[in-house]
Amino acid sequence: RFYNEALSISRHTKDAAGIANAYDNLGLLDAEDQNISSSNQNLNQAMKLYHNSRDSSGIIESYAQLGKVFEQKGDIEKALSYYQRALAQYERFRQKPEAYFVLLEDIGNLYMKKGKPKIALTYLQEGINNSRKAGLRDTQVSLLDAEGIAYQEEGQQVKALTIYKEAFEEAKKYKQPEEEAKALINIASVLQKQNSDKSLADLKEAMKIVRKIKQPQLEARIFEAMAEVYRQ
């Protein structure tokens, strides 16, 4: 109702960007309700307006949001299709924004779900290399963790451990406690079979960090990991 009101006001004031944004959001709501026909109609309207105003950021946001909708619904192929369209739009950008790196990580994670860690690694490594150049430390640490998971899935435990340790050092250096804890959890998962005592020590260290920053979901994840070590 509010998006329709926004559309009406934007039309009245001849605000092209506002009209496009309203169509965009209406299309995403339709997609969530599985009303694909209406969703496509609204999104196409938004796309036309974005194209007419040469608003490439609006186009990218539409594709990325639509990809997220289908990812949440478990339609990996459809989500990938929209993410790839968003990624193609970024080719025109000389300076890549942070959203570009988030998109690369999202694509990498979807390929992991498809059981294709090698393809996932190509996207994650692209993100890591470019984020280092751009100096985006927050994004880089998150991408490093995702890269480590991909190597672990590939069976390359030593490589995964090296990447996780790099992520931990980067997170510690740039004061990112949540990413620090995630890196420790991942390190512990690699060490679980070869050195269970060290694995538990890392998990306990992660628990101290997580309790300070009050992250119950991560705390639950650590308890599960500890249970796995004790079960072993």
Q: With a cut of 70, which residues of the chain have pLDDT below it?
A: 133-138
Residue count of the chain, please give it: 232
Instruction: Kindly state the tokens that stand for 211.
Output: 């309790």
The answer to whether 111 and 123 have CB atoms below 8 angstroms apart is: yes
Nearest to 171 by CA among 200, 137, 201, 198: 137
CA distances to 107, 141, 217 from 119, rounded to whole Å, are: 10, 20, 29
Give the pLDDT confidence score for residue 25 in this predicted structure: 84
Residue 158 to residue 142: CA distance in whole angstroms: 19
Give the pLDDT confidence score for residue 14 in this predicted structure: 87
The overall pTM is greater than 0.95: no
Give the pLDDT confidence score for residue 52 in this predicted structure: 75
Residue 90 has what DSSP assignment?
A: G
Give the pLDDT confidence score for residue 136 in this predicted structure: 62
Residue 164 to residue 25: CA distance in whole angstroms: 38
Instruction: Kindly state the tokens that stand for 174.
Output: 């740039």
Per residue in 137-193, pLDDT (tens digit) is 667 888 999 999 999 999 999 999 999 999 999 999 889 999 999 999 999 999 999
Residue 137 to residue 134: CA distance in whole angstroms: 9
Place of tokens 């025109």: 92
Place of tokens 């619904």: 73
